[in-house]
Amino acid sequence: MKITEIGEFGFIDAIKDDTLFAPESVVIGIGDDGAVYKTTDGMEQVAVIDTMVENSHFIIGTTASWYDVGYKAVASNLSDIAAMGAVPTHLVLSTAISPQMEVEDLISLYRGIKDICRTYQVNILGGDTVMSKEGLVITVAAFGEIEKTKAICRSGAKVGDIVAVSHCLGDSGAGLDVLLTRHAGYERLKRTHQFPVPQISLGRLLVEYHAHSLNDISDGLASEANEIAKASKVRLLLQKDRIPCSEELRAWSAETGKDIWTYVFNGGEDYELIFTIGTADFARLQRVYPEITMIGAVIAGEPGVYVQDGALQYQVLPSGWNHFSEEKR
C-alpha cells in the first residue's frame, strides 16, 4: 500500500500510538496544533536539530534499512544532547516522503524512531509530513535539560587539561565502506555505523566530574578536536599511539590496504565523545567509567590540533565530513 492510498492523516493515525515514554512531563502530545510540556525547576533547556537525506546520508538496501534510518536520525540528535552533558527529554520530527513510498516502510522507519526513544525515555511530541520528489528527508529536533550553568561547551578547554575520548574511533566510517562493498563480515563495524550509541551516561558523568570542554565526534576526530581548539583558543597535542582503535578496524584496514588513520581522523559518525578535563578529575572518572582513553593534552600556543607520531609532529586540519564538499558519501 502506497502512502497516497491512506493520506497524511491516515498515516498519522497509523504511527501516533506508543509515542510517550515519560508522560509525566507532557501536557499535550500528538493531535493538536502544538505540543505542550513541563520543564523541570532548576534546569535549563537544550535544543538540537539534524537532517538526514536519502542517497546522501543513507542508501536503502545498501547502507541501511528503513528501521535503521529512523533509529539513527534520533541517535545523532541524542548524541548532540550528550555533548552538552544534558538529559534528552522530547523530540519533534518532520518527514518529506515520496508519494510512491510504501506504508509498511514508513511504519518500519517510525518503529526505529520509537525503539530508540523508548530506550532513552524520550517523548515524541509530534511533527509534520510533506511530499518529496527526490526521496525521503527526515529532520529531527530534540530537546533536553541540564542543571543551570552546568552545560559543557567546546570553549572551556584549559592549558594543562587532559584530552580524552570514549571507546574506539573510526569504526563507523569503516562500517560504511564495509556496507558499500557488501562484505559479509565485520559485523561490529557495520553495527557501529547503522546503530550508533549516544553517550548520554558519559555526558552526565562529565558534568559530575567537572570536564572543561566537550564535543561529540560526528564529523571525525580532526574536525571535532579543531572545534574545541578554535572555540577555546588553545592548542591540542594528540599522541597518535594512544588513540583507541578496535581490532575489527585494524583487520579491515589490513585486508583492504586502507589507511586506518583516515577512518579515525576523517571518517565521522562515530558519535563518541572528545573532552578535556583536569588530571585528577580524569583519574577519578576513569575509575567509574573505564571506557575512556587519554589521547593528549591541552598546551599553550596558537589554536590548532597537532599530532605526535614518534619523533614527528604535524598539524591536523579540520578535514572531516563536509556536507557542502564535492565529494559524495
Question: 128 a known binding residue?
Answer: yes
Question: 171 a known binding residue?
Answer: no
Question: 154 a known binding residue?
Answer: yes
Q: How far is CA 68 from CA 109, 114, 179, in A?
A: 7, 12, 13
Strands 213-216 and 162-166: unpaired
Question: 271 a known binding residue?
Answer: no
Confirm if 165 and 244 have CB atoms less than 8 A apart. Answer: yes
44 grid coordinates: 535549563
Question: 314 a known binding residue?
Answer: no
What angle do the packed helices 247-256 and 171-180 form, to 10 degrees? 50
Question: 13 a known binding residue?
Answer: no
Task: Using alpha carbons, select from 107, 108, 125 the residue that is nearest to residue 21.
Answer: 125
> CA 171 to CA 183: how far, in whole Å?
15
What angle do the packed helices 187-194 and 247-256 form, to 10 degrees? 110
Confirm if 238 and 312 have CB atoms less than 8 A apart. Answer: no
Question: 105 a known binding residue?
Answer: no
Question: 259 a known binding residue?
Answer: no
Question: 127 a known binding residue?
Answer: yes
Strands 26-28 and 43-53: unpaired
Four-CA torsion 239, 240, 244, 245, nearest 10 degrees: 180
Question: 269 a known binding residue?
Answer: yes
Task: Using alpha carbons, select from 220, 214, 218 the residue that is nearest to residue 292.
Answer: 214
Question: 210 a known binding residue?
Answer: no
Question: 321 a known binding residue?
Answer: yes
Question: 57 a known binding residue?
Answer: yes
Numbered residues of the known binding site for ATP:
110, 127-128, 154, 218
Numbered residues of the known binding site for substrate:
57, 269, 321
Numbered residues of the known binding site for Mg(2+):
33, 50, 80, 128, 216, 219
Numbered residues of the known binding site:
33, 50, 57, 80, 110, 127-128, 154, 216, 218-219, 269, 321
